[in-house]
Amino acid sequence: MDSYTNTFSNDEITVTYEPSICIHAEKCAKELSSVFRTSIIPWINLDDAETSAVINQIKKCPSGALQYFKNKQKKAG
Ligand code: SF4
């Protein structure tokens, strides 16, 4: 486990943020500022946008620092 990974969840998805690979382009914060907030902790607020909008924004992250997975995709034993 990487101790620097930040994890944020809502009912549908879990978003992870890896600061060591973030290139701080602030693309996320500029384009979806209600969710990705650079000056407030916790900085990812999943309550203020549709999950689909959050996913779309994560896909635009140039560094791959933001990732997500759907909560229901649990591995069945
Ligand atoms: S879009 Fe990705 S690389 Fe840019 S600031 Fe956000 S997390 Fe970092």
Provide the domain count of the chain. 1
| Cβ(23) – ligand 1 distance below 6 Å | yes
Question: Domain holding 52: CATH number?
Answer: 3.30.70.20
Q: How far is the CA of 7 from the centre of ligand 1 (A)?
A: 15
The answer, yes or no, to whether residue 1 has pLDDT greater than 90, is no
Confidence of residue 42 (pLDDT cuts 50, 70, 90): confident
Mean pLDDT, all residues of the chain? 89
Is residue 30 in a domain?
yes
Is residue 41 in a domain?
yes
* pLDDT digit string, tens, across residues 48-63: 999 999 999 999 999 9
Collapsed DSSP state (helix, strand, coil) of residue 66: strand
Full domain range(s) for residue 54? 6-70
Q: How far is the CA of 57 from the centre of ligand 1 (A)?
A: 10
Nearest CA to 37 out of 49, 20, 21, 51 is that of 49
For position 17, what pLDDT does the model report?
94
